[in-house]
Amino acid sequence: MENLAQNIWIFDGDTVRFLGLPFSTRMTVVRLGNGDLWVHSPITLSEPIATQIKSLGYVKYLIAPNHLHHLFLPEWITAFPNAEVYGTSEVIKKRSDLSFNGSLNNHQNWAWESEIKHVLFCGSPLMEECVFYHNSSKTLIVTDLVENFSGQEFNYWQRMVAKGVGILAPNGKMPLDWRLSFMFGKEDARKHFAQIIDWNPQILVMSHGEIIKENADVFLDRAFKWLI
């Protein structure tokens, strides 16, 4: 557990295999003003992590921000049965075995919106992701919108692949296949990116790779030049 800023923590989990690469996993936890915990992209729930979580507050919200980040939801739902569960419509469709309290695609008055803003980044038939911004710490929280692997966990060939698809630090960005899938949806993506930049994020937390702890807006401008 790392205290990234006031009332926001990150937890690094086990790696998972995806497309032949060992993907690191990361969860972000925000403590809201009333003490409730907002948990983004839950990782494997071990006893030490459960103990640390309980020391921070009461788990109120579990967030599945895109259709790839749902694997560990069942164990969190079992451990925290009173938590409200939210995901994108794609996640909800994919995990019909789970009970969700609502879709992040819908417009409504969210209980956390005074402290955490969000935008649904879409424009691709393959990818949509709900992106969040923690106001007080100026932290942008993403899953796969940007990946920025150090490469230390990769062998030589895996590093070459990661560099080729654009997800190797310090030049991480959205993976090449997803970027290409926005060919006919760049206008929508530009609008969503403009909203993100308007928030003026200074810290960027992603599920996969090195965190950007200052001048995140500069990093993002470079990472999204493909939208021009």
Residues 142-194 have pLDDT tens digits of 998 999 987 678 777 878 877 888 888 899 999 898 899 988 889 999 999 99
Residues 6+ apart with CB under 8 A from 178: 124, 126, 127, 144
N residues, the chain: 228
pLDDT at 219 over 80: yes
pLDDT the model gives residue 153: 80
For residue 6, give its domain range.
2-104+118-227
Can you give the CATH number for the domain in which 157 is found? 3.60.15.10
Is 112 part of a structural domain of the chain? no
- Give me the number of domains the chain comprises: 1
User: What is the percent of the chain with per-residue pLDDT over 70, rounded to a whole number?
Assistant: 96
Residue whose C-alpha is closest to residue 142's, from 109, 119, 115:
119
Instruction: Report the alpha-carbon distance of residue 201 to residue 55 in Å, rounded.
Output: 28
Instruction: Report the alpha-carbon distance of residue 186 to residue 124 in Å, rounded.
Output: 8
Is 111 part of a structural domain of the chain? no
Is 80 part of a structural domain of the chain? yes
Is 78 part of a structural domain of the chain? yes
Task: Say whether pTM exceeds 0.95.
Answer: no
SS3 (DSSP) at 62: strand
pLDDT at 14 over 80: no
pLDDT the model gives residue 25: 85
Is 86 part of a structural domain of the chain? yes
User: What is the percent of the chain with per-residue pLDDT over 90, rounded to a whole number?
Assistant: 72
Instruction: Measure Cα distances from 83 to 5, 60, 62, 130 in Å.
Output: 24, 5, 7, 19
Residue 74's pLDDT band, with cuts at 50, 70 and 90, is: very high
88-104 pLDDT, tens digit each: 999 999 999 999 999 99
Residue 57's pLDDT band, with cuts at 50, 70 and 90, is: very high
Is 127 part of a structural domain of the chain? yes
Is 113 part of a structural domain of the chain? no
SS3 (DSSP) at 152: coil
201 preceded by cis ω (within 30°)? no
pLDDT the model gives residue 16: 64
Q: State the chain's mean pLDDT as an integer.
A: 91
What H or E segment, with its residue span, contains residue 92? helix 89-94
Residue whose C-alpha is closest to residue 166's, from 228, 98, 226, 107:
226
Per the structure block, which two tokens stand in for 115? 């402290």
Helices 216-223, 186-198: crossing angle, 10 deg rounding:
170
Do the beta carbons of residue 99 and residue 165 sit within 8 Å? no
Per the structure block, which two tokens stand in for 210? 């090195």
Q: Is the dihedral of CA 130, 8, 193, 142 positive or negative?
A: negative
Average pLDDT over residues 63-72: 89
Instruction: Report the alpha-carbon distance of residue 79 to residue 74 in Å, rounded.
Output: 9
Is 42 part of a structural domain of the chain? yes
Residue 24's pLDDT band, with cuts at 50, 70 and 90, is: confident
